[in-house]
Amino acid sequence: MARLFRDSSSSRSSGLAAGADTPPASSASAAPPLPSPLTDLGVALSASDLRATAYEILVAASRATGAKPLTYIPQSAAASTSTSSLSSSIHHSLASSAAAASKVKKALGLRPSSASASSSKRRGRGRPATAADLVLLQLGVSEQADARIRRALLRIAAGQLGRHAESMVLPLEFLQRFKASDFPDPHEYEAWQLRYLKLLEAGLLFHPLVPLKKSDVSAQRLQQVIHGVYDTPTETEKNSKLMEGLYSAAKALAGRSLGQTLDECHWADGFPLNLHIYQTLVEACFDSEDGAVVDEIDEVVEMLTKTWVILGINQMFHNLCFAWALFNHFVMSGQVDIELLSGAENQLTEVVKDAKATKDPDYCDVLSSTINSIMGWTEKRLLAYHETFSASNIASMQGIVSIGVSTAKILAEDISHEYRRKKKQETDVVVHSRIETYIRSSLRTAFAQKMEEADSKRSSRNPMPVLSILAKAIGDLAKKERTVYSPILKKWHPLAISVAVATLHSCFGNEIKQFMAGLTELTPDTAQVLKAADKLEKDLVNIAVEDSADIDDGGKLFIREMEPYEAENVMENLVKAWVKERVDKLKEWIDRNLHQETWKPKSNGENFAPSSVKMMQIIEETFQAFFQLPITMHSTLHSDLTTGLDRNLLYYVSKSKTACGTQSTLIPQLPHLTRCDVGSKLFKKKEKPQVLMKRGSQVGSTTNGLSDIPELCVRINTLYYVQTELQSLEKKIKTYFQNIGSIDHKTYELNIPFKLSQAACQEGIRQLCETFAYKVIYNDLSHVLLDSLYAGDTASNRVEPLLRELDPILRMVSGIVHNGVRNRVITTLMKGSFDGFLLVLLAGGPTRAFTLQDSQMIEHDFRALRSLYVANGRGLPEELVDKASSEVKNILPLLRTDTGTLIDRFKRAISESCGSTTKSGFPMPPVPAQWSPSNPNTILRVLCYRNDEAATKFLKKAYNLPKKL
pLDDT tens digits along 152-178: 888 888 877 667 888 889 998 888 888
Q: What are the Cα distances from residue 530, in Å, to 488, 516, 639?
A: 34, 9, 32
Share above pLDDT 90 across residues of the chain, in percent, rounded to a whole number: 39
Q: 311, 323, 302, 309: which is closest to 270 by C-alpha?
A: 311
Q: How far apart are CA 829 and CA 880, in angstroms?
A: 13
Q: Which 3-state string (H, E, C) describes 609-644?
A: CHHHHHHHHHHHHHHHHHCCCCCCCHHHHHHHHHHH
User: What does DSSP assign to residue 206?
Assistant: I
Mean pLDDT within 263-283: 91
Any idea of the CA torsion for 278, 280, 286, 290, to the nearest 10 degrees?
Answer: 160
| Helices and strands counted in the chain (H then E) | 39, 2
User: What does DSSP assign to residue 926?
Assistant: P
Convert 453-473 to b/e letters by CB count within 10 Å (16 or more is b): ebeeebeeeeebbbbbbbbeb
Which positions ≥6 away from 105 have C-beta within 8 Å?
Answer: 111, 112, 293, 297
Alpha helices for 410-517 (secondary structure H): 424-457, 466-480, 486-489, 496-517
Q: Burial-class residue 507 by CB neighbours within 10 Å (0-12, 13-18, 19+).
A: buried
| CATH number assigned to the domain covering 567-668+706-766 | 1.10.357
Q: 57, 399, 389, 37: which is closest to 203 by C-alpha?
A: 57
Judge whether residue 524 has pLDDT over 90. Answer: no
Q: Burial-class residue 6 by CB neighbours within 10 Å (0-12, 13-18, 19+).
A: exposed
Share above pLDDT 70 across residues of the chain, in percent, rounded to a whole number: 79
Judge whether residue 260 has pLDDT over 80. Answer: no
Judge whether residue 441 has pLDDT over 80. Answer: yes
pLDDT tens digits along 731-770: 888 888 888 776 655 545 545 678 889 999 999 999 999 9
pLDDT tens digits along 393-408: 898 999 999 999 888 8
Q: How far apart are CA 884 and CA 828, in angstroms?
A: 9
Comparing 20-24, 725-729, 770-774, which segment has the lowest mean pLDDT? 20-24
Comparing 26-30, 38-42, 614-618, 652-656, which segment has the lowest mean pLDDT? 26-30
Mean pLDDT within 508-512: 92
Q: Residue 117 has what pLDDT?
A: 47
Q: How far apart are CA 190 and CA 3, in angstroms?
A: 11
Q: What are the Cα distances from residue 938, in Å, to 894, 903, 924?
A: 9, 12, 12
Sign of CA dihedral 488, 490, 492, 493: positive
Mean pLDDT within 473-486: 94
Q: Which 3-state string (H, E, C) describes 704-767?
A: ECECHHHHHHHHHHHHHHHHHHHHHHHHHHHHHHHHCCCCCHHHHHHCCCCHHHHHHHHHHHHH
Beta-sheet strands, E only, within 9-102: 64-65, 68-69
Long-range contacts of 245-252 (CB under 8 A, 24+ apart): 245/221, 246/172, 246/175, 246/200, 246/222, 247/172, 247/176, 248/221, 249/218, 249/221, 249/222, 249/225, 250/169, 250/171, 250/172, 250/200, 250/204, 250/222, 251/169, 251/172, 252/218, 252/222
Which segments of the chain belong to CATH 1.10.357?
Answer: 567-668+706-766
Note if the bond before 35 is cis, omega within 30 degrees. no
Q: How far apart are CA 870 and CA 879, in angstroms?
A: 10
Q: Residue 81 has what pLDDT?
A: 34
Mean pLDDT within 841-865: 92
Q: 245, 168, 252: which is closest to 212 by C-alpha?
A: 252
Mean pLDDT within 571-588: 79
Q: How far apart are CA 63 and CA 72, in angstroms?
A: 8
Convert 651-673 to b/e letters by CB count within 10 Å (16 or more is b): bbbeebbeebbeeeebbbeebeb
Most confident of 210-214, 325-329, 843-847: 325-329
Judge whether residue 875 has pLDDT over 90. Answer: no
Report residue 346: phi and psi, to 5°: -65, -40
Cβ count within 10 A of residue 619: 23
Kindly calculate the radius of gyration of the chain based on its CA atoms and give it in whole angstroms.
Answer: 44
Q: What is the largest CA-CA distance in the chain?
A: 123
**pLDDT: which is higher, 131 or 771:** 771
Q: How far apart are CA 620 and CA 583, in angstroms?
A: 12
User: What does DSSP assign to residue 392?
Assistant: T
Judge whether residue 437 has pLDDT over 90. Answer: yes
What is the value of pTM for the model shown? 0.56
Judge whether residue 213 has pLDDT over 60. Answer: yes
Cβ count within 10 A of residue 782: 20
Q: Residue 698 has what pLDDT?
A: 35
Q: Residue 700 has what pLDDT?
A: 38
Q: Calculate ∠ Cα 866-867-873, nearest 5°.
A: 125
Q: How far apart are CA 678 and CA 675, in angstroms?
A: 9
Judge whether residue 509 has pLDDT over 50. Answer: yes
Cβ count within 10 A of residue 544: 25
**Mean pLDDT across the chain:** 81
**pLDDT: which is higher, 104 or 276:** 276
